[in-house]
A = this chain, B = another copy of it.
Amino acid sequence: MTSTRFGFEIEHAGPTSRARTGRLTTPHGEVETPAFMVVGTQAAVKGVAPWELRELGAQIVLANTYHLYLRPGADLVAQLGGLHRFMGWDGPLITDSGGYQVFSLGFGLEHGVGKLVGTFPDEARPPGQRARARGQPARLTKVDENGVDFTSHIDGSTHRLTAEDSIRVQEQLGADIILAFDEPTSPLHDERYTAQALGRTHRWVRRSLEARSRSDQALFGIVQGGAFEALRRESAEYIGGLPFDGFAIGGSLGKSKADMHAVLDWTILALAAERPRHLLGIGEPEDLFACIERGIDLFDCVAPTPFARHGVLYTQHGKLNITNAVYRADGSPVEADCPCYTCTNFTRAYLRHLLLANELLAYTLLSIHNLHLVVNLVKAIRDSLRGGDYVEFKREWLSRYAAAGPASGPPAPESEALSPDPSSL
């Protein structure tokens, strides 16, 4: 069974790369691709209301099944009319399978790694996250052939999640796109373990296909296999051969951007070109170009909002840290030609003041800017692909962005699940 209310139409495919533009059709509206999905972990984008999301150009929101399963519970969301009504967002929604959070809250916290080796060095984390990570029990998950036992990060209660459970919960939540249940692996897993996990993932995604009962939701398969070429190729062949409405690429993407690009090169061609492809958890500005060129249509990345709450702002000239003393009396906006609400109304000096004074409004205004930039960078890439001037646009954008050097702020927390914000403790 594939969804009867979901469609994907490719509008433009570039002659010199695998980049393409297209249009997803869902029961809650269309999504122009490539698209950046905004992350609303607990059925809310942190500090940003739905009207502001519309205003800044967001097309689709990703919510986390793991979090909503634990709190407030998928049955409650269903009882209240489903996730769209619950969170006041009537546009397209996607939920993940819960697998990433279940496993990353176990293994990831234990070993301090995320999707790329080194993205979770404990010393580099903002202090709040460090304390939290260290305070976690050593082992929160236990996997077997049928599913995974895990411990709630909220209250320590124990739970079990199987492929069938994940699909049932996602059907209760009622997003337009749902994901098959998988076991993501980290860059610290060796090839042998990654192969075992991949075997489970393949059996679980097939069970996910069989478990689905709603025809108004698209179901995406997930390619795993870590940074191991043979496993990634095997997984893409297997998943690509199943009747999913689209495909996600998840799990460890290696030790570098080059590894990530290689993973895409090994997998993309096995995933039918006429179905959409989603790269899970990636979306830094510099990644978007390279991944779109390799055939990715959909991105989700939590980074813009935790970055914002720590004062790290994206600009076309690289990142800036608004808490820096150099901005104390700076009467210019974060970015001169940015049309977002924050940049058209407030100065760097004011935003710095708000953040240093722990004003809630800081988190909202800074998050609006970061989300606006990333969402509209992907839109600009889309437009340049349609207009035929992608290569020039990319060259200009990346030369401006890279010229600024590395970010002056703390690194982006890789997953919101693992990065409590300063105001939610």
Stoichiometry, copies per complex: 2
A280: CB under 8 A from chain B? no
A408 CB to closest chain B CB, in angstroms? 20
Give the residues in chain B near A45, CB-CB below 8 Å: 361
Given contacts A42-B359, A360-B47, A423-B423, contact A86 B329 (CB under 8 A): no
A350–B423 CB distance below 8 A: no
**Alpha-carbon separation in the docked complex, A290 to B86 (Å):** 40
A238 CB to closest chain B CB, in angstroms? 37
A47–B361 CB distance below 8 A: yes
A326 CB to closest chain B CB, in angstroms? 14
Interface hit among A48-56, A119-127, A165-173, A227-235: A48-56
Give the residues in chain B near A341, CB-CB below 8 Å: 49, 51
A357–B86 CB distance below 8 A: no
Interface hit among A75-83, A212-220, A377-385, A395-403: A75-83
Give the residues in chain B near A425, CB-CB below 8 Å: 358, 425
A353: CB under 8 A from chain B? yes
Give the residues in chain B near A423, CB-CB below 8 Å: 358, 360, 423-424
Say which residue of B87, B357, B360 sits within 8 Å of A360 (CB atoms).
B360
Q: Mark A322-352, 1 if CB is under 8 A from B, else 0.
A: 0000001101000000000100011101101
Residue of B nearest to A422 (CB): B423
Given pairs A51-B341, A86-B349, A360-B360, 20 additional interface contacts (CB within 8 A): A42-B359, A44-B354, A46-B361, A49-B365, A50-B345, A71-B353, A71-B356, A72-B328, A72-B357, A76-B328, A87-B350, A88-B350, A357-B424, A358-B423, A358-B424, A359-B424, A360-B424, A423-B423, A423-B424, A425-B425
